[in-house]
Amino acid sequence: MKAEIIAVGTELLLGQIPNVNAQIISKALQEIGIDVYYHTCVGDNQDRLSDVFKTSFARSDIIILTGGLGPTKDDLTKETVSNFLNLPLKADEHSLDKIKSFFAHRGKPIAENNYKQTLIPEGASAIENKNGTAPGVLLNNNGKIIVMLPGPPAEMEPMLKEVVIPYLSKMCNATIFSRVLKFYGIGESDLEEKLQDLIAQQTNPTIAPLAKMGEVTVRLTAKAKNRIEAQEIIKPVEDEIIKRIGSFLYGFDDDSIEKIVAQLLFNFNKTISIAESCTGGLTAHKLTNIHGISQRFDRGIVSYSNRAKHELLQVKLDTIRKYGAVSEQTAKEMAKGVRLSSGCDIGVSITGIAGPDGGTHEKPVGLVYIGYSDSKTTYVEQHFFNGSRINIKERSASSALHLVRKMIQGLISD
């Protein structure tokens, strides 16, 4: 079955709010084996919405619309669909009783336009909205499934999961399952070159490389009768990919680098402290997003100025004068200094030029040194990152965590 999602709302087109509903719905449909072929966004305009719906009706088996179910004049989703299908709108008694109760409980009169929300196309079923006043609509029109849900995700998502997905799942005998492999230290073009033959021959599962900030992911997606069968289809392809580029693999699916590092710190019984300059505490922030990390993470020091590097981390003033604050030597002393002052097993440091200015020919914007220190070794990586100030900070923080991962796993020898 082919599905299509139509998001209705001018605020979406203006970029005032993100279209998170499409992502939520697509993921839910994937789990029950329904292919989503199109996402469309249209404003609160009846003519344009009618054109979009006409196209969708001709090419898709399932059409899910979100938004435009409110009480105002520009909420036109039900009216537009009903006009296209030539179905009159009729009041749903349960929805009407709920709205009356809603306003009575608050001691307020019902505005006339609120009655509009109780109207649904003839032959349709109302979907109760437990978190708002606008009911959803579920309609089987000669085999075409049309679903209308409210725009706010907090209202839409429970209705989707409690009513729509169970209804649609009865029509499906398949599932779509994805496995995501996450790689660091290899570019998208190099990865695709190493997997070129697999990508060219893909059928089921499909192979989709995707470059993200500082990493590359490969999504393997299989369609099968059930999840177990889909996993069996994916497994040999996954094994072949790992065989070729497994040295760059760091995680799967929802893994984040901070989650992986936290696991390693617990598994190897290591404690860590971090000294940051150009990242301003971003690395510590990422790590402290992990529940329970207080048992492994002792402190984070934002040593932005040279004085802070000297006073808090014992970086020698001569080192800064001779080599500069952004240098391999300073990064080494920062990492060692934060380790010794905290008494931790591992000290990490980051110092660099995040831009947009402040760079020179010898030390351009994007130059970053990341230091690592433990009782046996002190090691520094040099990086050159492109992009905005925020991008450079993000990539620096992630790279620092990847350095910790590689050192703990023994992937780097000094």
Last residue of a domain, one of 112, 145, 169: 169
Q: How does pLDDT run across 298-334, given as a tens digit for each residue?
A: 999 999 999 999 999 999 999 999 999 999 999 999 9
CATH number of the domain that residue 150 is part of: 3.40.980.10
Tell me, yes or no, whether 66 and 138 share the same domain: yes
Tell me, yes or no, whether 181 and 262 share the same domain: no
Q: How does pLDDT run across 133-160, given as a tens digit for each residue?
A: 899 999 999 999 999 999 999 999 999 9
Last residue of a domain, one of 199, 218, 252: 252
What residues make up the domain containing 205? 176-252
What would the mean pLDDT of 45-64 be, rounded to a whole number?
97
Last residue of a domain, one of 252, 272, 302: 252
Share of the chain above pLDDT 70, in %: 100
CATH number of the domain that residue 375 is part of: 3.90.950.20
Tell me, yes or no, whether 314 and 223 share the same domain: no
Q: How does pLDDT run across 202-219, given as a tens digit for each residue?
A: 999 999 999 988 899 999
**Domain contains 414:** no
Tell me, yes or no, whether 342 and 294 share the same domain: yes
Number of structural domains, the chain?
A: 3
Tell whether the model's pLDDT for residue 222 goes beyond 70.
Answer: yes
Tell whether the model's pLDDT for residue 174 goes beyond 90.
Answer: no
What would the mean pLDDT of 73-92 be, rounded to a whole number?
94
Tell me, yes or no, whether 265 and 401 share the same domain: yes
What would the mean pLDDT of 236-251 be, rounded to a whole number?
98
Q: According to the model, what pLDDT value does residue 7 have?
A: 98
What would the mean pLDDT of 237-241 be, rounded to a whole number?
98
Tell me, yes or no, whether 229 and 310 share the same domain: no
Tell me, yes or no, whether 56 and 69 share the same domain: yes
Query: Which pLDDT band, with edges at 50, 70 and 90, does 414 fall under?
Result: low
Tell whether the model's pLDDT for residue 64 goes beyond 90.
Answer: yes
Share of the chain above pLDDT 90, in %: 88
**Domain contains 202:** yes
What would the mean pLDDT of 79-105 be, rounded to a whole number?
89
Q: Which segment of 104-108, 345-349, 401-405 scores lowest on mean pLDDT?
A: 104-108
Tell me, yes or no, whether 299 and 327 share the same domain: yes
Higher pLDDT, 258 or 105: 258
**Domain contains 42:** yes
HEC string for the chain: CEEEEEEECHHHHCCCCCCHHHHHHHHHHHHCCCEEEEEEEECCCHHHHHHHHHHHHHHCCEEEEECCCCCCCCCCHHHHHHHHHCCCEEECHHHHHHHHHHHHHCCCCCCHHHHHHHEEECCCEEECCCCCCCCEEEEEECCEEEEEECCCHHHHHHHHHHHHHHHHHCCCCCEEEEEEEEECCCCHHHHHHHCHHHHHCCCCCEEEEEEECCEEEEEEEEEECCHHHHHHHHHHHHHHHHHHHHHHEEEECCCCHHHHHHHHHHHCCCCEEEEECCCCCHHHHHHCCCCCHHHCEEEEEECCCHHHHHHHHCCCHHHHHHHCCCCHHHHHHHHHHHHHHHCCCEEEEEEECCCCCCCCCCCCCCEEEEEEECCCCEEEEEEECCCCHHHHHHHHHHHHHHHHHHHHCCCCCC
Tell me, yes or no, whether 239 and 380 share the same domain: no
**Domain contains 413:** no
Tell me, yes or no, whether 286 and 385 share the same domain: yes
Tell me, yes or no, whether 303 and 398 share the same domain: yes
